[in-house]
């Protein structure tokens, strides 16, 4: 292919990454390393499933390239990028450290991002909504009480399974297998997440978890999903003017280094 140009790092106000799954064979570490070295941001948000602790525990798989990613992120944190880590279900052990700072990396359960226009975005991984997704699969109704109760149940189920040494059981994954139409699952997830964000007074939400990058509006809430680095190699970025974009970083990275590809217009592609 054409000449690979050494491009100046692309500068953004914010970058969101999730579902990297370090320690899992499927992680596309080389692409991510290339992305990290080609981009800069004031804030780097890591919104869950960054390290796949279930996989590490099971397989002890941890290649050099995964180390390089950790080192690159820590270097960024040292050099002034604000790095905020919101654990997901595959790295839920780190939730115990919420409120703490390790090597300039802040750990939070969830976080509020304020856009340049003052709009407030809720940042969460998204696994907390699995129980509601399951409920919607059974009956398409959410009462306020049931909704709160299900959020509670999901936390309790996780806790009990963890206490007894079972891996996290993804209701979302279960539903995904059950529901014939994957798009329906994706739409339901977006709706459930946005309902929660709306109820809590946010203008938008950024999450991951379902490995499907997306930017769309649901019930007047801006829904952004930054995708993953196992199947799709996608990142969400915020330009200095506040514009949100999805970047798809794969084999065509030489081309993509020059042109942003907004894959939001084709949500079925992934
Ligand atoms: Mn997840």
Single pTM value for the model: 0.77
Distance, CA of 169 to CA of 120 (rounded, Å): 31
By the 8 A CB rule, do 86 and 110 touch?
yes
Tell me the domains of the chain and their CATH numbers: 10-265 (3.60.21.10)
Interval between CA 33 and ligand 1 midpoint (Å)? 21
Kindly give the distance from the C-alpha atom of residue 21 to the centroid of ligand 1, in angstroms, as a whole number: 9
Q: Which two tokens stand for residue 257?
A: 């280094």
* DSSP structural state of residue 140: S
Predicted pLDDT of residue 263: 39
- Give CB contacts under 8 A, 24+ apart, made by 241-250: 241/116, 242/13, 242/115, 242/116, 242/117, 244/215, 245/215, 246/213, 246/214, 246/215, 247/35, 248/213, 249/31, 249/32, 249/34, 249/35, 250/31
- Beta strand 10-17 with 234-238 is antiparallel
**Which chain residues have CB less than 5 Å from ligand 1, an ion?**
49, 88-89, 209
Distance CA 51, CA 30 (A): 15
50 Cα–ligand 1 center, Å:
9
Strands 120-123 and 111-114, sheet pairing:
antiparallel
The predicted pLDDT at position 250 comes to 75
User: What is the Cα–Cα distance from 237 to 249, expressed in whole angstroms?
Assistant: 12
Q: Please choose, from the candidates 13, 14, 12, 16, the residue with its C-alpha nearest in 3D space to the C-alpha of residue 208.
A: 16
* d(CA 133, ligand 1 centre) in Å: 14
Going residue by residue through the chain (270 aa), what tens digit of pLDDT does each one get?
Answer: 444 555 567 899 999 999 999 999 999 999 999 999 999 999 999 999 999 999 999 999 999 999 999 999 999 999 999 999 999 999 999 999 999 999 999 999 999 999 999 999 999 999 999 888 776 554 444 444 455 666 677 777 777 877 777 766 655 555 555 545 678 888 999 999 999 999 999 999 999 999 999 999 999 999 999 999 998 899 999 999 999 999 988 754 543 333 334 433 333 333
* 201 torsion bin: left (phi>0), alpha (psi -120 to 50), beta (else): left
Please tell me the distance between residue 155's alpha carbon and the centre of ligand 1 in angstroms: 14
């Amino acid at each position: 292919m054409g000449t690979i140009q050494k491009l100046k790092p692309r500068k953004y106000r914010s970058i969101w990454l999730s579902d990297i799954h370090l320690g899992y064979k499927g992680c596309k570490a080389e692409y991510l390393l290339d992305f990290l070295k080609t981009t800069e941001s004031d804030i780097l948000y890591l919104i869950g499933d960054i390290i796949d602790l279930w996989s590490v525990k099971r397989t002890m798989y941890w290649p050099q390239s995964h180390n390089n990613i950790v080192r690159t992120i820590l270097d960024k944190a040292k050099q002034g990028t604000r790095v905020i880590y919101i654990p997901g279900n595959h790295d839920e052990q780190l939730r115990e450290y919420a409120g703490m700072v390790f090597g300039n990396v802040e750990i939070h359960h969830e976080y509020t991002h304020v856009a340049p226009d003052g709009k407030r975005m809720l940042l969460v991984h998204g696994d907390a909504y699995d129980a509601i997704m399951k409920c919607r699969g059974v009956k398409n109704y959410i009462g306020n009480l049931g909704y709160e109760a299900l959020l509670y149940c999901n936390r309790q189920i996780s806790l009990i399974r963890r206490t007894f040494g079972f891996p996290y059981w993804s209701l979302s994954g279960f539903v995904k297998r059950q529901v014939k139409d994957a798009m329906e699952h994706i739409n339901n997830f977006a709706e459930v997440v946005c309902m929660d964000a709306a109820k809590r007074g946010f203008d938008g939400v950024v999450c991951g978890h379902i490995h499907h990058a997306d930017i769309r509006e649901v019930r007047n809430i801006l829904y952004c999903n930054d995708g993953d680095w196992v199947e799709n190699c996608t990142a969400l970025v915020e330009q200095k003017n506040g514009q949100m974009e999805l970047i798809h970083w794969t084999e065509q990275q030489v081309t993509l280094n020059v042109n942003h590809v907004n894959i939001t217009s084709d949500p079925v592609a992934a």
